[in-house]
Copies of this chain bind each other. A is one copy, B any other.
Amino acid sequence: MHFPHVTIAVPDWVGAFCASWSSGFATVQARAAFVVALSQQNVSHETGGPFAAAVFDPLEGHLIAPGVNLVVPSSCSAAHAEIVALMVAQQIMGTHDLGAAGLPALELVSSTEPCAMCLGAVPWSGVRGLVCCARGTDAEAIGMDEGEKPPGWIVALENRGIRVMRDVCRVEAAAVLQGYVAGGGLIYNGRCG
């Protein structure tokens, strides 16, 4: 028996978009602005849902790896932006543990608060910080399902040494979500029974 390989790759336009980004990544606001713009680009290019994420080295102000939502085009329900960004970053670093000795403390920035799956993925990834732009409630407001998150998830991440920041560029990030649904974007996570 043979089983297919699964390939996850950011769309071709992502590299050019990253190269064209001139505002740098020195501040958390700049990193969040990039990720929100990336989420808008994913909508404009019609390459997935209205979500983006990226892994950064915040101290050096470097982008390590971007991610966009690829659920529908990749036929992969796990291909949320956060999972994609973490996978690409780990591929680049050559390790499953972005917190391994010798690596800088890396940060995951997400255009919308991670869903239950992505929240569960954060501690396994080795990132030392999580920055969220829109809230989960902003995604739910357009009909997206965030899943069942454990109460106290912020404290739980902090207790694992993962610093959490919320609401960075929230208004801009929520506007991308609203624009997606206003433009007739597919709400693909709506299965509830």
Interface residues of A (CB under 8 A from B): 1-10, 14-16, 18-19, 65-66, 71-72, 74-79, 83, 86-88, 90-99, 115-121, 123-126, 145, 147-153, 156, 159-161, 188-189, 191-193
Question: Looking across the interface, which residue of chain B has its beta carbon closest to that of A118?
Answer: B120
User: A101: shortest Cβ distance to chain B, in Å?
Assistant: 11
Q: What's the Cα separation between A119 and B118 when bound, in Å?
A: 10
Question: Looking across the interface, which residue of chain B has its beta carbon closest to that of A87?
Answer: B6
Inter-subunit contact A90/B119 (CB<8 Å): no
Inter-subunit contact A77/B97 (CB<8 Å): yes
Inter-subunit contact B189/A124 (CB<8 Å): yes
Inter-subunit contact A78/B87 (CB<8 Å): yes
27 contacts between A and B (CB under 8 A): A1-B15, A1-B16, A1-B18, A3-B9, A3-B15, A3-B65, A3-B88, A3-B92, A4-B9, A5-B8, A71-B96, A76-B91, A77-B97, A77-B125, A78-B125, A79-B96, A97-B188, A117-B118, A117-B120, A117-B121, A119-B120, A123-B147, A123-B191, A124-B191, A149-B150, A159-B193, A160-B193
